[in-house]
Amino acid sequence: MKRVLLVRTAIFLASFCFLGRASIVPSVAQHHEDTVRINQDSAVSEHSSEPKELNVAEVILEHVMDNHIWHITDAIVIPLPVIVYSQEKGFDLFSSTNFFEHHKTVEYQGYKLVGNKILIAETHKEVLDFSVTKNVLMLFINSGILLIILLTVARTYKTRAGKAPNGLQSFIETIILFVQNDIVKPNIGPKYEKFLPYLLTLFFFILFGNLLGLLPGAGNLTGNISVTLVLALITFFITNLNGNKNYWGHIFWTPGVPLPLRIIILPVELIGVFTKPFSLTVRLFVAITAGHIVLLALICLTFIFKSWFVGIGSTVFVTLISLIELLVAGIQAYVFTLFSSLYIGMAVAEHRHDDHH
């Protein structure tokens, strides 16, 4: 359990460092035109008594993308700390609410917020952004919940040594045994124990991140491509750093293949080394983000059509899709862990070349 906690901490720190750079390499680029349009709409609304029309794209993007404030409802907005560095100004720390005034973005201390990027107002130069944004805070929350749960279970194992598990311990133990016996061990083989702490951490991190993202007002942590990319890169480095001579031999000098064909197979194998983390990154990102977009789009139908009939139908569909999303949350954690185990197993497996002759 201690090894699991150490690996979890390493993943958390790596993800935090990657997310802090440039305000978390946004999941989907938010254009400058969006900010200009929002400001123009706000300016018009100040001189008009008519209610502002619902901007569906703005509502959806606000949820699936990262932000320097956490907008839960109109009455609940959580300010987040902005931490920036530039050669001209050095380090600066202030609240993100300073960028917003009367529903408009404004300059503050020589900085301005354009889309999801902080720039120096005079030179329009982008700064190094280490801010605690919405997804970074969700990362803290997700990791904190996992630490509390797993430390509680570990403490229970010590106090109830030799006794049958009960309560939370029995629930978590069932998941651990499932990951160990049905995912990790069959795909990695005899050396699975070395990689089990990482893969257990990976499974629980993705599972809890997916489930927390379904809560109303929560951030889209595992639907952020920066987070999925960090997780995929960790798997990539673990796989290739532990690859044995048979693994690299099959890549650079595939046995049983005529020499002329090796010229074609070599670049294909090398490309395959890098497409594996790419597929892990995109699969989780697309599956989680697409589900959130569909749910929000169905909810917005009620306000677009302003009809009780549409509202009832939308509620039924949202309920059904939410149940499917709960299933998807578990499936995506399973798939990511499964493929990571498979890639690691391919790297550490001992091959018998006699079969090729």
221 and 284 together in one domain: yes
* Residue 154: HSE in the Cβ half-sphere, 13 Å Cα cutoff: 11
Residue 116: closest CA among 143, 135, 101: 135
Q: Is the pLDDT of residue 227 over 90?
A: yes
- The answer as to whether 310 is a domain residue is yes
Tens of pLDDT, residue by residue over 324-345, are 999 999 999 999 999 999 999 9
Average pLDDT, the chain: 82
Task: Give the model's pLDDT for residue 122.
Answer: 85
Domain of residue 74, residue span: 29-64+68-132
Q: In sequence order, which residues have a C-beta less than 8 Å from that of residue 172 and are 6 or more positions away?
A: 149, 150, 153
CB atoms < 10 A from the CB of 309, how many? 9
Tens of pLDDT, residue by residue over 67-107, are 888 888 777 888 899 999 988 888 999 998 888 876 678 88
CB contact at 8 A, 99 and 106: yes
- The answer as to whether 22 is a domain residue is no
For residue 51, what pLDDT band results from cuts at 50, 70 and 90?
A: low
d(CA 343, CA 347): 6
- The answer as to whether 11 is a domain residue is no
Task: Give the model's pLDDT for residue 352.
Answer: 60
Which of 132, 163, 186 corresponds to the end of one domain?
132
Average confidence (pLDDT) over 36-61: 56
127 and 185 together in one domain: no
189 and 253 together in one domain: yes
- The answer as to whether 312 is a domain residue is yes
For residue 164, what pLDDT band results from cuts at 50, 70 and 90?
A: confident
119 and 194 together in one domain: no
95 and 215 together in one domain: no
- The answer as to whether 15 is a domain residue is no
Q: Is the pLDDT of residue 24 over 60?
A: no
Task: Give the model's pLDDT for residue 357.
Answer: 45
Number of domains composing the chain: 2
Top mean-pLDDT range of 37-46, 235-244, 343-352 = 235-244
Q: Is the pLDDT of residue 261 over 90?
A: no
What backbone phi and psi angles, to 5 degrees, belong to 181?
-85, -25
Residue 52: closest CA among 66, 71, 38: 38
171 and 305 together in one domain: yes
Please state, for a pLDDT cut of 90, what percent of the chain lies above it.
44
Which of 81, 104, 132 corresponds to the end of one domain?
132
Task: Give the model's pLDDT for residue 74.
Answer: 74
Q: Are strands 77-79 and 117-120 parallel, antiparallel or unpaired?
A: unpaired
pTM of structure? 0.81
Tens of pLDDT, residue by residue over 122-146, are 888 889 999 999 999 999 999 999 9
187 and 318 together in one domain: yes
Task: Give the model's pLDDT for residue 3.
Answer: 52
- The answer as to whether 146 is a domain residue is yes
- The answer as to whether 163 is a domain residue is yes
Task: Give the model's pLDDT for residue 351.
Answer: 65
CB contact at 8 A, 1 and 150: yes
Task: Give the model's pLDDT for residue 162.
Answer: 77
229 and 314 together in one domain: yes
- The answer as to whether 182 is a domain residue is yes
Residue 228: closest CA among 13, 19, 43: 19
96 and 172 together in one domain: no
d(CA 153, CA 167): 10
Tens of pLDDT, residue by residue over 168-205, are 888 999 999 999 999 999 999 999 999 999 999 999 99
Task: Give the model's pLDDT for residue 58.
Answer: 80
Q: Is the pLDDT of residue 252 over 80?
A: yes
Task: Give the model's pLDDT for residue 102.
Answer: 67
Q: Among 30-34, 115-119, 153-157, 161-165, whose mean pLDDT is lowest?
A: 30-34
End-to-end CA distance of the chain: 45
Task: Give the model's pLDDT for residue 339.
Answer: 96
Helix orientation angle between 259-305 and 56-64, rounded to the nearest 10 degrees:
130
